Chain A
Amino acid sequence: MTYAVRSATARFGHTLALDDVTVEVPGGSVVAVVGGDGAGKSTLLRALAGEVSLDAGTVEAPPRQRLGYLPASSGSWAALTVTQNIDFVAGIYGLAGDELAARRAELLHRAALTPAAGRLAAQLSGGMRRKLGFIMAIVHRPALLILDEPTTGIDPVSRIDLWRLVSEAAASGAAVLMSTTYLDEAERAGHLVVLDRGRVLVQGSYDQVRAGFAGVVTQADRPVRPGWAWRRGRILHEYWPGAGASEPPAGATAVEPDLEDIIIALSLARRDTVWS
């Protein structure tokens, strides 16, 4: 089963939050949406979750009871314990008794939260609260799992725990759409979508994105055209989209661009097109 948002356009007042965006999420895979603050990530996820109505385009999603959604703001009740939070959400989906107890124990174990089962959500660390949110989104074994920045701002070890949980969900057949600001996570997903100001800058597997990247990235201490250069540690990288004046000068050192380089280069090229 493949879920999708097709040719989606969403406006909030004068802001074009999504501009003709198509993203498919096949079962058994993880699709990662990357982009900064204001790129349109949350709007895309909320559109697929049925929380935003589109000005144009279509949404293919399962019925609500087969959908799991973790919003960007935590989504647990601070004054309830970890167990009470899980049981409350499970109850909405009709999960109860031995079946619920077994499912709850399994998920707590996999998230390394068993020792915190009796703790109030208010007393959890940021990483633990995100893992609780994840359990609440997945307790009813949804066919489509939508996770809005599940790992932003949490420590690397909790991030790995969450990634393992996400991978396990996909391995058991769920279609997973998640947003992230971490590019190393996007590299890890089977399919990545780079959003920039409401538009898809590029999408595909990491290998496809790399193969489809046109132009050359060079490195130097001093850039030839500062507007096309960015910093990587002590040195600078510079993008040459190709053709005519934007060919690198003879003798420049080319580098193999990573995802960070590719996204910055494509963002600069888009700014150039939009502004000129």
Chain B
Amino acid sequence: MTGTLLRATQVIRRFGEFTAVDDVSMHVRPGEVVGLLGANGAGKTTLIRMLLGLIAVTSGRVDLLGGPPDRERRRRLGYVPQGLGLYGDLTVRENLSFSARAYGTAEPALPPGLTGQAGVLVRELSLGAQRQVAFLAALAHSPDVLVLDEPTSGVDALARAALWDTIRAQAERGAGVLVTTHYMQEAQQCDRLLLMSDGRLVAEGSEADIIGSTTAVAVRTGDWARAFAALAAAGAPVMLAGRAIRVANADPAELAGVLEAAGIEASLQPVPATIEERMLMLARQARAS
């Protein structure tokens, strides 16, 4: 062991003329939870499929547990896909037996929330309960590496907190966890973040590292509807935030000019940008080029 569970080194993947992943290097160490962020088409799924050994790299190198992601190493991997990968027409117990057999491990016991549900068809469970079953199936063999694609999409805050408890417990026993998420508050649950855009890794580190030099301005006014319309018409990347309006990477003086020309009184204040605003700016750059 080199201290790294999962590593991509200068990985490139092309589909015909299209480069889906372009020179990406990244790693996941034992005990850490790494968040992978990016818009659709940024290359997250392709990168994960290479890390899991499901598709080959065009060039570069992928190491899972110190070597190529072959069948033997993949036994020590746990994966929860976005679609959960369960059989809806089988019961909870049958799904868990199937995955336990596939990994050659003992069937996991049902947690308190799922006892009494062993004989229920998975498709008849709530989404939150289905996610719990998918986690149980993926964790029964105590994997060294855990890959989770949108692990908490669609569940309530309490269920999300419970799933994060499970994820943290895995990291605390030494597993390395790679999580993709579209939920920016969830990104804050991670130890380290990676941001992909257009196939490339564009930022890495803490939330502050991801936001980088992106700035934002909060516009407060008694007439948000007209202010919003005026700023949107001027092409500014506007967003609503409660009764305030936020504009990413804007020059306050320029915004003040637009509002004054429209006869709207407003106060403008520079505020810290969000991860979403950084992603919005990246997308606008990509659309423009």
Residue positions of A touching B, CB distance < 8 A:
28, 30, 35-39, 112, 125-127, 152-160, 163-164, 166-168, 170-173, 181-184, 187-190, 196, 205-207, 230-234, 260, 263-264, 267-268
Contact = CB atoms under 8 A, between A and B. Distances in A.
A153 B182 contact: yes
Contact of A160 (B128, B191, B225, B276): B276
Interface centre among B127, B191, B242, B280 (most CB of A within 10 A): B242
A233 B189 contact: yes
Contact of B127 (A37, A158, A166, A170): A37
Given A36-B157, A156-B279, A171-B228, A164 B40 contact: no
B229 interface: yes
Contacts of B38: 155
Contacts of B239: 160, 163-164, 167, 188
A166 B126 CA distance: 29
Given A153-B150, A156-B184, A171-B229, A267 B39 contact: no
B215 to A, nearest CB: 16
Nearest to B164: A231
Interface of B: 37-42, 82, 126-128, 150, 153-162, 164-165, 168, 182-185, 188-191, 224-226, 228-229, 232, 238-243, 275-276, 279-280, 283, 287
Contacts of A37: 126-128, 154-156
A72 to B, nearest CB: 10
A164 B232 contact: yes
B165 A183 contact: no
Given A37-B126, A171-B226, A190-B243, A231 B155 contact: no
Contacts of B238: 164, 167
Contacts of A230: 158, 161-162, 165
Contacts of B153: 152-153, 181
A153 B154 contact: yes
A36 B156 contact: yes
Given A30-B240, A160-B239, A207-B242, 18 more contacts: A36-B155, A39-B156, A125-B41, A126-B40, A152-B154, A153-B150, A154-B40, A155-B42, A157-B40, A157-B279, A157-B283, A159-B276, A167-B238, A170-B225, A170-B240, A171-B225, A264-B157, A267-B158
Contacts of B232: 164, 168
A154 B156 contact: no
Nearest to A230: B161
19 contacts: A36-B155, A36-B159, A37-B128, A125-B40, A155-B40, A157-B39, A159-B276, A168-B229, A168-B232, A181-B156, A182-B183, A182-B185, A184-B185, A188-B241, A190-B242, A205-B242, A231-B165, A264-B157, A267-B158
Contacts of A184: 183-185, 276
B30 to A, nearest CB: 15
Given A37-B155, A38-B126, A188-B240, A155 B225 contact: no
Contacts of B279: 156-157, 160
Contacts of B150: 153
A155 B39 contact: yes
Contacts of A187: 241-242
B156 A267 contact: yes
Nearest to A192: B242
Contacts of A263: 156-158
A164 to B, nearest CB: 7
B1 to A, nearest CB: 23
A156 B276 contact: yes
A77 to B, nearest CB: 22
A125 B40 CA distance: 8
A163 to B, nearest CB: 6
A191 B118 CA distance: 40
A45 to B, nearest CB: 16
B29 to A, nearest CB: 15
A231 B224 CA distance: 36
Contacts of B159: 36
Contacts of A159: 182, 276
Contacts of B229: 168, 171-172
Interface centre among A157, A158, A164 (most CB of B within 10 A): A157
